[in-house]
Structure 1
């Protein structure tokens, strides 16, 4: 999979629906406001009042955007009660509304424009956002190979810590370990600015990761200059999409479905040529 097809995949995600146009509109407006970024295009008008379910959804979406680790049992229970069997699809819609604007903000800051943006959205009411995100977009990004394996893993682990994904924090990618990654190196990610073994390229990447996660509306020139200094255009695009791919862990974290596969220590895995995760 080349990166040429990925803008189309982003456009496809933007056009998808949770199955409820009012919910989609509420999600997108709420996420845009929480991020201080332009929201994704909306399919409906919310001129009238909010239902109880919509109030629950708005609160969930806002917390999901600002800090997913703040979603507790009560909030996730209220969402699942409000949306029943469609709750997972709704949460995937929240993730899309949360992260595509971040990708566009990052790409615009780097001079790449808005990949996948279209002036007129052809709404896809029948497509499955779960399949298109987790079965299509995520493995497509994982198939990119412009970045070296250690940088990809360092970026992943920074996102895992930010979102406190227990599963992600317990995993170690085999290709990165074979290329020089180690627990000693990975422990330095937390305080990367003073880390002796992380390269300047790693540090530039991690500053950009932090900006996309915590302040996507305020990506400063120093962060952008660091990315430009150490990464090519294709690498910086992959880096941006990697942050989104890794942040799909927010879906699991928000639903308390991020339990590690091992009780202690870490487990090895690898991303195969198809972009799929294969456990040792």
Structure 2
């Protein structure tokens, strides 16, 4: 079976399908510009018509009505007609779809709805269809089209009433230098994605306690083994202990401060149904967090949710981590936003 991953002309891609709210870009230009690069890479490395089908299916699953109505010119190739798009909900039986497309769409549905339910058999089938070496890039591209849409939807609700949309400032020298020195077209998706993750971590607006509770909520929802084992050292120093983290699973009924509950409500909406984020919760969020903190919270959720890639690929094992008697391992980040190491105490 030949690979479905090809090099596409990015000039055909419509950047509007991944354009983020202007207010978010103005608050965090470095991270949002690097996320643009992630999306550019995704559309260059994945077959565009197939990626468009998955983007549209993801939009439907998460309630992104604007995303469903949009179309990417990069995908207007071959037999990707409106009739085929309209038949997307019936893809398992529709004659419009090839066996490869059916397998990829089924994989995308599982990835979006319950990534922890991914099976080795499903991975093997997809690897056979796409090629084993291309599988990681494919899953990374799927992550990009899913979480860019989620970020678009949630950031618009949380930030629009607070910050006027503005043109994003020019990129910092670090971002500009990275763009010049790294021809990311030749890099695997994981490395392009890593530059975005590092930029998100470099944010300083949100406190470490909120950050850790949100990170663990993502990890437990996605059932990432390694991320559930880890604890942020900065959060531990700020008072987060196992008694506190045990409350995350039933936070609404817990005695956690309301500020943390609001952050967790946003997290739940973001990673499940972003269209369910109500204006009531948004107003609560604005009463507890500044616009800069809300922008960081949104980006943090996308960063922590890259764990879905490892869960899907079955590479989320925690066996090599040094752990204490409670089975916990601590970690931290350096000034560049990269993991600085793991330790048991």
TM-score, normalization by structure 2: 0.73
SS, match of residue 134 in structure 2: helix
CA deviation after TM superposition for structure 1 residue 235, in Å: 0.2
Counterparts of 1:41 and 1:79, CA distance in 2: 25
C-alpha distance 202-187 of structure 1, shift in aligned 2 (>3 A): same
> How many positions carry a matched residue from both structures?
271
Counterparts of 2:259 and 2:292, CA distance in 1: 15
SS, match of residue 231 in structure 2: strand
Ranges in structure 2 where 5+ consecutive residues have no aligned partner: 1-26, 85-95, 169-182
C-alpha distance 115-252 of structure 1, shift in aligned 2 (>3 A): farther
CA deviation after TM superposition for structure 1 residue 35, in Å: 1.4
Q: Partner of 2:243 in structure 1?
A: 184
C-alpha distance 202-170 of structure 1, shift in aligned 2 (>3 A): same
Q: Partner of 2:330 in structure 1?
A: 268
Counterparts of 1:214 and 1:24, CA distance in 2: 21
Residues 165 and 253, structure 1, Cα contact 8 Å, conserved in 2: yes
SS, match of residue 146 in structure 1: coil
1:3 aligns with 2:50: no
Q: Partner of 1:141 in structure 2?
A: 200
Q: Deviations over 1:42-87 (max 9, x none)?
A: 3212237432122110110111112212212221221111111111
Residues 331 and 342, structure 2, Cα contact 8 Å, conserved in 1: yes
**Pairing 1:51-200 to 2, within 5 Å after superposition:** 51-84=98-131, 85-112=133-160, 126=185, 128=187, 129-133=189-193, 135-196=194-255, 198-200=256-258
Counterparts of 2:106 and 2:152, CA distance in 1: 24
Counterparts of 1:274 and 1:183, CA distance in 2: 28
Residues 118 and 312, structure 2, Cα contact 8 Å, conserved in 1: yes
Ranges in structure 1 where 5+ consecutive residues have no aligned partner: 118-123
Bigger Cα Rg: 2
CA deviation after TM superposition for structure 1 residue 130, in Å: 2.5
Counterparts of 2:147 and 2:46, CA distance in 1: 19
The CA RMSD over aligned residues, in Å, is: 2.4
1:21 aligns with 2:48: yes
Counterparts of 1:115 and 1:226, CA distance in 2: 24
TM-score, normalization by structure 1: 0.89
Counterparts of 1:70 and 1:244, CA distance in 2: 20
CA deviation after TM superposition for structure 1 residue 271, in Å: 1.6
Counterparts of 1:131 and 1:105, CA distance in 2: 26
- The runs of at least 4 aligned residues of structure 1 exceeding 6 Å deviation read 113-117
Counterparts of 2:334 and 2:292, CA distance in 1: 20
CA deviation after TM superposition for structure 1 residue 114, in Å: 8.8
Counterparts of 1:61 and 1:114, CA distance in 2: 32
Q: Partner of 1:44 in structure 2?
A: 75
SS, match of residue 268 in structure 1: strand
1:235 aligns with 2:293: yes
Residues 7 and 115, structure 1, Cα contact 8 Å, conserved in 2: no
Residues 46 and 141, structure 2, Cα contact 8 Å, conserved in 1: no
Residues 216 and 228, structure 2, Cα contact 8 Å, conserved in 1: yes
Moved more, 135-144 or 71-80: 71-80
CA deviation after TM superposition for structure 1 residue 11, in Å: 2.3
SS, match of residue 67 in structure 1: helix
